[in-house]
Amino acid sequence: MLSLLSLHWASLQLGQAFPSTSDYLQRGWQRLLEEGEGCAECQPEECPAPRGCLAGTVRDACDCCWECANLEGQICDLDNTNHFYGKCGEHLECRLDAGDLRHGEVPEPQCVCLSHLALCGSDGKTYTQICRFLEAARAHPDANLTMAHEGPCESEPQITSPPYDTWNITGQDVIFGCEVFAYPMASIEWRKDGMEMLLPGDDPHISVQFRGGPQKYEVTGWLQIQGVRVTDEGTYRCFARNSVGEVVALASLTVFTPGEHHVLVPTLSQGQRGLGRVD
């Protein structure tokens, strides 16, 4: 009790140094009052039934009633003898991550998920870890969400970042990117409309690169055209394929010749297709 009081007093003295002082004080006071009164004899039948607890339930400070546990990312009590912020739910652990602090901030312990393994839900959606899955299942109890299997759901690729329409002047370099999430993993191919072959073909000023990432189950491809010529103008397509299916995203390249007089007008009728040109 004494240590609790002195900690509380210290927090008052530090004032602004604590990140969420008002929340901290409010919950602190509440807990102090509860503890100050001591824990009455536990009468489970008098406990309110906690509802809508997305991270499950935990015992309260008196180890008597069930109350909502804290969700992933919520602040928590690092030390089990404290009852300021509450305890983390199932598959979660209270951790202090001093890594990404801005200057002058006091580190806050947060609930983090113990698992980093993806799983596939009965809704056909991939959940990056069990904590996200349980949250979704508890948020929509009517949906009867269950785990279909470990690992991501098998489905056709999703293009998480497509290539964008671009323009440049002759002689400059142009790069298109294409980021793909897929399980099973996808392969990426680039094609130019009106041309039979896959890029780069035998064209020495075109190159294609791939890299795994940036996220798990992702692959990213780039198409680079060095020293663009007017003949490079056109529509380029990124095809992502796995054993389940294939998807495509496209972007246009417009090439200007320096010195010629051009007026850039947005081609509204073409929606996202970028800039048209009027000579």
Question: Can you give the binding site for ligand NAG, defined by CB under 6 A?
Answer: 142-144, 166-168, 172-173
SS3 content of the chain, % helix, strand, coil (to 5): 20, 35, 45
Q: Which is nearer to ligand NAG, 158 or 166 (CB)?
A: 166
17 or 143: CB nearest ligand NAG: 143
First to last CA, the chain: 81
CA gap 121, 136 in Å, rounded: 10
CB 56 within 8 A of CB 74: no
As a whole number of Å, the CA-based R_g of the chain is 28
Cα separation, 208 vs 199, whole angstroms = 7
Which residue sits closest to ligand NAG, CB atoms considered? 172
Q: Which amino acid is at 273?
A: R
Minimum CB distance to ligand NAG, residue 170 (Å) = 10
Q: Which is nearer to ligand NAG, 122 or 160 (CB)?
A: 122
CB of 172 to ligand NAG, least distance (A): 3
Question: In this structure, what token pair is assigned to residue 183?
Answer: 């399980």
In angstroms, what is the minimal distance from the CB of 227 to ligand NAG? 9
CA distance 127 to 150: 10
Shortest Cβ distance from residue 225 to ligand NAG (Å)? 10
In the complex, minimum distance from the CB of residue 186 to ligand NAG, in angstroms, rounded to a whole number? 26
Nearest CB to ligand NAG, comparing residues 101 and 143: 143
Nearer to ligand NAG, 146 or 243 (CB): 146
